[in-house]
Amino acid sequence: MSNDNSRNLYDLALKHIPGGVNSPVRAFKGVGGNPLFFKAGQDAYLIDADNNRYVDYVGAWGPLILGHCHEKVIDALRNQLQRGLAFGASTEAEVLIADKICELMPSIEKVRLVTSGTEATMSAIRLARGYTGRDKIVKFEGCYHGHVDGLLVKAGSGALTLGEPDSLGVPKAYTDLTHVLPYNDIDAVENFFSACGDEIACVIVEPVAGNMNCVPPVPGFLQALREQCSKHGAVLIFDEVMTGFRVALGGAQSVYQVNPDLTTIGKVIGGGLPVGAFGGKQEIMDMIAPLGAVYQAGTLAGSPLAVAAGLAMLNVISRPGFYDELATRTEFLLSGLQERADQARIPFTTNQVGAMFGCFFSAEDKISQFSQVMNCNAERFKHYFHIMLQNGVYLAPSAYEAGFVSSAHGEEEIQLTLDAAEKAFAALAD
């Protein structure tokens, strides 16, 4: 398989783009080698600059739940393209998508659209601080909420992949207000709240962690967060940028039956276009300008194109049975991988919530802690990643990212993946 065109593009990119990429997780630093450059995506496949085809388990890091170029999304975009790209003013489609979001996630009574997940979490934190009149915030180790200054503390995703979970350039004074607790540790949460719960503005959490690979909450963890926040008057924020409309139509909050006060969403609601949103209880949301004194704004917020794509996407995924089918396919993929790893005697385990999954080179039965993720065999993952790539499967180029199955992944694509994995596990066993 030739990668000459990707290599040449990467060399050219290095000249005027820092590190040759516009987002660090794309750079293959976590797996070695040169990043691929892609020119097209169709259904479950990505096509690179050398015309190699890969079954895609990144799905643009989550949004492409229908695969690439789904006809309903493309039609919606084509329609909107003829009517205008941006107005910097309100549209009917924004009203429709807000209604749809509130209908699908009933904990959201009011919602504001922004242009990225980072903006959504940044705004939600500001709002929680404005609402409570408190400054301190709590996040969890290995969770990533975009590149917001105060949240780049022990962060997952690219920060973890590059081995720099805290960033230069973030004033110490900002992170002094951020308290980091271990994910899935109920005692740590209760102890922290008993010590200073009444000073906490908010707790922000990925209800299924997707930026330290995929780590679901242990039973009772999200409930404990809900309980402590309610008891101490802190705002509970679920960062459902990855899980919203992905693990289930109603997001992780519907799966675990815990209602946050605020939710941040993104990815799927843009159908592949840049969009994010935050929403929640009316009483809190009404504190945002122009109603309230918490300022938040965006020229391209509610972009007509992004909203058109999002509405089309939400209509398709609202079909009864959509998520069951997706979860069944994901289960089939993961059980097939496990079987092949076991046959090759490679210590391996998986996590799954709906169509979001994680694969771990570990002898542990189940992975639920950040420390377990860090103890996985990273060298094995690198080797596995490259063999999968050579055999036509594109995984996230990092051991610390979740994988995604779309409705375009059929039997053929999953079989191709399992055949590739069989070769990869055999090579790892040698």
CB 314 within 8 A of CB 97: yes
Q: Which lies closer to ligand HOZ via its Cβ, residue 156 or residue 304? A: 156
Tally the residues of the chain: 430
Q: Which lies closer to ligand HOZ via its Cβ, residue 105 or residue 120? A: 120
Q: How many residues bind ligand HOZ (CB under 6 A)?
A: 8
Q: Which lies closer to ligand HOZ via its Cβ, residue 144 or residue 370? A: 144
Q: Which of 136, 217, 146 is nearest to 180 (CA)?
A: 136
Q: Which of 10, 54, 131, 144 is catalytic?
A: 144
Which residue, judged by CB position, is nearest to ligand HOZ in the bound state? Answer: 23
Residue 302 beta carbon to ligand HOZ: minimum distance, rounded to whole angstroms = 22
Site mask for ligand HOZ (CB under 6 A), range 128-147, x = bound: ----------------x---
Question: Is 239 labeled as catalytic in the residue annotation?
Answer: yes
CB 66 within 8 A of CB 317: yes
Q: Tell me the C-alpha distance between 21 and 37, whole Å.
A: 10
Residue 176 beta carbon to ligand HOZ: minimum distance, rounded to whole angstroms = 25
Q: Which of 152, 124, 114 is nearest to 273 (CA)?
A: 114
Cα dist from 306 to 29, 60, 76, 111, 187, whole Å: 30, 15, 10, 16, 41
Cα dist from 253 to 174, 192, 392, whole Å: 29, 23, 35
CB 385 within 8 A of CB 421: no
Q: Which lies closer to ligand HOZ via its Cβ, residue 13 or residue 188? A: 13
Q: Binding residue for ligand HOZ (CB under 6 A) from 61, 183, 245, 394?
A: 61
Q: Tell me the C-alpha distance between 251 and 259, whole Å.
A: 11
Q: Which lies closer to ligand HOZ via its Cβ, residue 144 or residue 385? A: 144
Q: Which lies closer to ligand HOZ via its Cβ, residue 185 or residue 401? A: 401
CB 276 within 8 A of CB 115: yes
Q: Tell me the C-alpha distance between 53 and 46, whole Å.
A: 6
HEC secondary structure over 342-399: HHCCCCCEEEEECCEEEEECCCCCCCCCHHHHHCCCHHHHHHHHHHHHHCCEECCCCC
For residue 136, what are the β-bridge partners?
A: 200
Q: Binding residue for ligand HOZ (CB under 6 A) from 23, 230, 257, 328?
A: 23
Q: Which lies closer to ligand HOZ via its Cβ, residue 155 or residue 222? A: 155
Q: Which lies closer to ligand HOZ via its Cβ, residue 136 or residue 145? A: 145
Identify whether 290 is preceded by a cis peptide bond (ω within 30 of 0).
yes
**25 belongs to the binding site for ligand HOZ (CB under 6 A):** yes
**158 belongs to the binding site for ligand HOZ (CB under 6 A):** yes
Residue 400 beta carbon to ligand HOZ: minimum distance, rounded to whole angstroms = 8
Q: Which of 352, 351, 348, 412 is nearest to 383 (CA)?
A: 348
**157 belongs to the binding site for ligand HOZ (CB under 6 A):** yes
Q: Which of 29, 136, 139, 267 is catalytic?
A: 267
For residue 204, what are the β-bridge partners?
A: 237
**315 belongs to the binding site for ligand HOZ (CB under 6 A):** no
**401 belongs to the binding site for ligand HOZ (CB under 6 A):** yes
Q: Tell me the C-alpha distance between 51 and 35, whole Å.
A: 15
Residue 363 beta carbon to ligand HOZ: minimum distance, rounded to whole angstroms = 26
Site mask for ligand HOZ (CB under 6 A), range 179-218, x = bound: --------------------------------x-------
Question: Is 11 labeled as catalytic in the residue annotation?
Answer: no
Q: How far, rounded to the nearest angstrom, does the alpha carbon of residue 344 sit from its chain's CA centroid?
A: 31
Q: Which of 43, 56, 185, 239 is catalytic?
A: 239
* DSSP conformational letter for 202: E
Q: Tell me the C-alpha distance between 156 and 144, whole Å.
A: 5
**119 belongs to the binding site for ligand HOZ (CB under 6 A):** no
Residue 142 beta carbon to ligand HOZ: minimum distance, rounded to whole angstroms = 11
Question: Annotated active-site positions, please?
Answer: 144, 239, 267
- Contacts with ligand HOZ, residue ranges (CB under 6 A): 23, 25, 61, 144, 157-158, 211, 401
